[in-house]
Amino acid sequence: MAVTSGEAAPQEAPHRDVFLITIDTLRSDHIHCYGYERIQTPSLDELAKQGIRFTQAFTPSPLTNSSHTSILTGLLPSSHGVSDFGVPLKSDHPTLAELEKKQGYQTAAFIGSVILDSKRLAPGLDRGFDFYDNFPEKPQMKLRWGQIERRGLDVAQRAENWLDGHEAAPRFVWIHLYDPHDPYEPPSPYSEIYKGRLYDGEIAYADLALGHFLAYLKKRGWYDGALIVLGGDHGEGLGEHHEDTHGIFLYDSTIHVPLILKLPNEQQSGRVVDEQVRTTDIMPTILDLQGIPMPARMDGASLMPLILGADSSARTVFGETDYPLRFGWAPLRSVRQDGFKFIEAPRPELYDLHSDAGELHNHYAPWDTRVQTLRKTLAERTAESQSKRKTSPSTVSSGTVDELHALGYLGPADARSSTDVPEPSLLPDPKDKIEEQNLMHIATMASEVGQWVKARIALEKLVQLDDKSLIAQLLLGRVYLNLNKPKAAEHEFETAVLLQPGNMEAQLGLAKALLGERKFADAVDLLEETTKSGAKEPEAFELLAQAYTGLGKPALAKQAADQASSIRGAKPQQ
């Protein structure tokens, strides 16, 4: 793995340890070595000093699952097909771990969030790993930490424990630190040091966890000879372009990420590369340095020609997000090339990044030659991906949907309930709807921790903006039930039923509201119709049993309860 200026990577490289470290939701402009003076990130700074720092690295996706799959396959989301939570990675896309394992590497992955759990939200991402540190299926404690998220120091310690038991090289280890993802809750003393800037506090804490792991490698004598790659999976809006978090837009605030490459024995240390690169280039770079043959299809390319000065040609950056579809809005696609960015949307955008790095002044005009060139490039890329794309449907259980909500995301079922429009170009432009997404995010996160009043305030504002938002009506109905306001809940669920008559959640929510108001006869009428429609929903029969009980009809109540037990596979009541 020896590399010197003017040399190509050797064909036969020694088997060295490879450590891939990804930090979730990490903006490059909030790191000290990237010029941000309001934070201390000594571990990242030292790694950059001893390695190669890329100032213009970009992810193709502002979502954790899609972006990490791109890192681990070298493919764009439209190529690997993982554009949604719970979508299995197809077996014909080889992963970095699979290729390392074929070379005799011991492989392990340590994740900081259930969002990357291969048994729930990221099926297939564990392929090639001897050990993949998923979350317990039945956690002993109903706490955020350990159930849906792990602190960075915990992740680092788990990786160190595994390495202690697998001392023989070579090893490929992926470590995922989730801390900068919202909600921003850094532990002390970072919560005090960065009071009022808790996102920075989370980054500073993640830097501590990184430092802990790097110190461990140095203590064991494994640091100097290792190849270490550190990158962000996506950034964070922080209010820019009115986006509080991420997932909706393709502006640099959420797709510009840090990327640092430390070669064995600090070769090329202190090097800074300003050319535009992609996180899809990570996998081919690692394979190139190891002399491992590349898969037949990759969207990324090795960074070694750039590092060695053998090639300075510009690399085109593509961006993709289908997450707006969850809200019933149009998906977005972008292309970043030669200092310009074009975003394909219902209202397209063109930015001259030379003079407008903040992407504040849209210069789009359909007859502009730059627009036509970039649009053609994007259209060709889209046509190519559609012709080769093979995707599997998302398979997310109801319990996992709850975990998605706890992390601030909507689930696949939410997306299906939000729109039935077949043509994305006919959907609203996310730019016109971003305030609704911000309010929905606030409400979802507040609901998960029982802050019902905060959730109610956000949702009431949201339905004023869009009184046809089924997602908002359903969640507001649930919030009113938890606030013991069944009459208000009844109104929201009735509205939801009118918006989508066959929606089971709306029907069950309306039934709960009616029971809360002691309108037992109305509840029976609704639930009898629901259960006679052929729906095998046990909760519907359980609610029907409650309604019959309220009407003083115990025999019918028992019959309904037994039916619910039968559907659940339980023993009927005696």
125, amino acid identity: L
> Strands, DSSP E only, in 299-446?
317-321, 332-337, 340-344, 349-352
Task: State the pTM of this model.
Answer: 0.88
- What would you report as the CA-atom Rg of the chain, rounded to the nearest whole angstrom? 26
> Tens digit of pLDDT for each residue in 216-274?
999 999 999 999 999 999 999 999 999 999 999 999 999 999 999 999 998 988 999 99
What's the mean per-residue pLDDT of the chain?
Answer: 90
Cβ neighbours of residue 223 closer than 8 Å, sequence gap 6 or more: 214, 217
Q: Counting every residue, how long is the chain? A: 574
Residue 531's pLDDT is 87
Half-sphere exposure in the Cβ direction for 294 (13 Å, CA): 18
- Assign 70 to helix, strand or coil: helix
Bigger pLDDT: 555 vs 1: 555
Token look-up 């899809």 returns 280
Average pLDDT over residues 142-158: 85
Half-sphere exposure in the Cβ direction for 459 (13 Å, CA): 26
Question: Hey, where are the domains in the chain?
Answer: 18-302, 325-388, 399-568
How much of the chain, in percent, has pLDDT values that exceed 70?
88
Residue 420's pLDDT is 43
Cβ neighbours of residue 422 closer than 8 Å, sequence gap 6 or more: none
Domain 18-302, CATH among 3.30.465.10, 3.40.50.300, 3.20.20.70, 3.40.720.10: 3.40.720.10
What's 325-388's CATH class? alpha beta
Residue 400's pLDDT is 58
Cβ neighbours of residue 327 closer than 8 Å, sequence gap 6 or more: 410, 415, 418, 430, 433, 436, 437, 440, 469, 471
Residue 146's pLDDT is 61
**Tokens matching residue 462:** 């949201």
Residue 139's pLDDT is 65
Tell me if 279 sits within 8 A of 231, measured CB to CB. yes
Residue ranges in 170-197 assigned as alpha helix (H): 190-193
Residue 314's pLDDT is 82
Task: Evaluate if residue 44 carries a pLDDT over 80.
Answer: yes
Q: How confident is the model at residue 12 (pLDDT cuts 50, 70, 90)?
A: very low
Cβ neighbours of residue 342 closer than 8 Å, sequence gap 6 or more: 334, 335, 348, 349, 350, 364, 370, 371, 374, 375, 378
Task: Please report, for residues 84, 88, 92, 393, the alpha-carbon distance to residue 81 in angstroms, rounded to integers and kept in the order given.
Answer: 8, 8, 11, 10
**Rounded to whole angstroms, how far apart are CA atoms 460 and 188?**
35
Return the HEC string of 480-528.
HHHCCCHHHHHHHHHHHHHHCCCCHHHHHHHHHHHHHCCCHHHHHHHHH
Name the CATH architecture for the domain at 399-568.
Alpha Horseshoe (1.25)
Q: How confident is the model at residue 200 (pLDDT cuts 50, 70, 90)?
A: very high
For 221-230, 429-438, 528-537, which range has the lowest pLDDT when averaged over its residues?
Answer: 528-537
> Tens digit of pLDDT for each residue in 375-429?
999 999 888 776 555 555 555 555 555 655 566 565 555 544 444 444 566 899 9
> Tens digit of pLDDT for each residue in 503-524?
999 999 999 999 999 999 999 9
**Rounded to whole angstroms, how far apart are CA atoms 48 and 54?**
9
Q: How confident is the model at residue 81 (pLDDT cuts 50, 70, 90)?
A: very high
Residue 403's pLDDT is 59
Average pLDDT over residues 464-487: 95
